[in-house]
């Protein structure tokens, strides 16, 4: 399984990765590192719908499972004082708890633009090879709800591998650095 969240590792310009807080759609239960998109109808942030839709960025926190678009959970909207969201890897009975400081109905993301380089993994039964550098693949969600660069999926070319992850020294390395292709960037610049 893909067990690492996707996150920025550097930028081409040397600046910090661009970040935003965007109102969140109701009922979102994704993990940190999930590709997200801004819904066309109401501007709420939701988990990326794999396919031809564009990626706004990657979530910095788990989805808050809000009762309504962009509404901070309260007793009237969500009777649970601390809403749970997402799953805890390798702990099927556990839940993540939202930190009260960030319970504002918004979701923090790192914006997918041409300047940001992301760290991720290739698929569970795949190995990152030097021949993958410069090749573009799609992203796929694994059974544990983590996303990975899928070397077997060459439709909707989203992620171009730019480097192998130097910290992945395993016998079958899976770590890669990639960029989101211009055609799939929802918030360019």
Q: Is residue 49 part of a domain?
A: yes
Q: Print the domain residue range for 119.
A: 7-184
Least confident of 50-64, 67-81, 172-186: 67-81
pLDDT at 74: 58
Q: Could you tell me which residue, 67 or 108, shows the higher pLDDT?
A: 108
Domains in the chain, number: 1
Q: Is residue 189 part of a domain?
A: no
Q: What pTM value is reported for the model?
A: 0.84
Q: Which residues of 93-121 are buried (b: 16+ CB within 10 A; e: fewer)?
A: eeebebeeeebebbbbbbbbbebbbbbbb
Q: How many residues does the chain have?
A: 189
Q: Is residue 161 part of a domain?
A: yes
Strand intervals (E) in 12-73: 19-23, 35-38, 45-47, 57-59
């Amino acid at each position: 399984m893909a067990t690492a969240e996707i996150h920025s590792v550097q930028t081409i310009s040397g600046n910090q990765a661009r970040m935003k807080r965007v109102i969140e759609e109701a009922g979102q239960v994704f993990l940190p590192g999930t590709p997200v998109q801004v819904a066309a109808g109401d501007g709420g942030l939701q988990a990326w719908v794999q396919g031809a839709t564009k990626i706004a960025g990657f979530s910095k926190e788990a989805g808050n499972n809000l009762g309504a678009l962009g509404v901070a959970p309260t007793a009237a909207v969500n009777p649970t004082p601390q809403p749970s969201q997402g799953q805890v890897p390798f702990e099927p009975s556990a839940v993540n708890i939202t930190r009260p400081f960030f319970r504002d109905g918004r979701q923090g993301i790192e914006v997918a633009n041409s300047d940001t380089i992301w760290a991720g993994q290739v698929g569970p039964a795949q190995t990152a090879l030097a021949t993958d550098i410069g090749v573009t693949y799609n992203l796929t969600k694994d059974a544990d709800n983590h996303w990975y660069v899928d070397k077997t999926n060459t439709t909707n070319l989203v992620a171009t591998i730019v480097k192998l992850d130097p910290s992945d020294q395993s016998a079958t390395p899976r770590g890669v650095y990639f960029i989101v292709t211009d055609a799939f960037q929802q918030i360019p610049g």
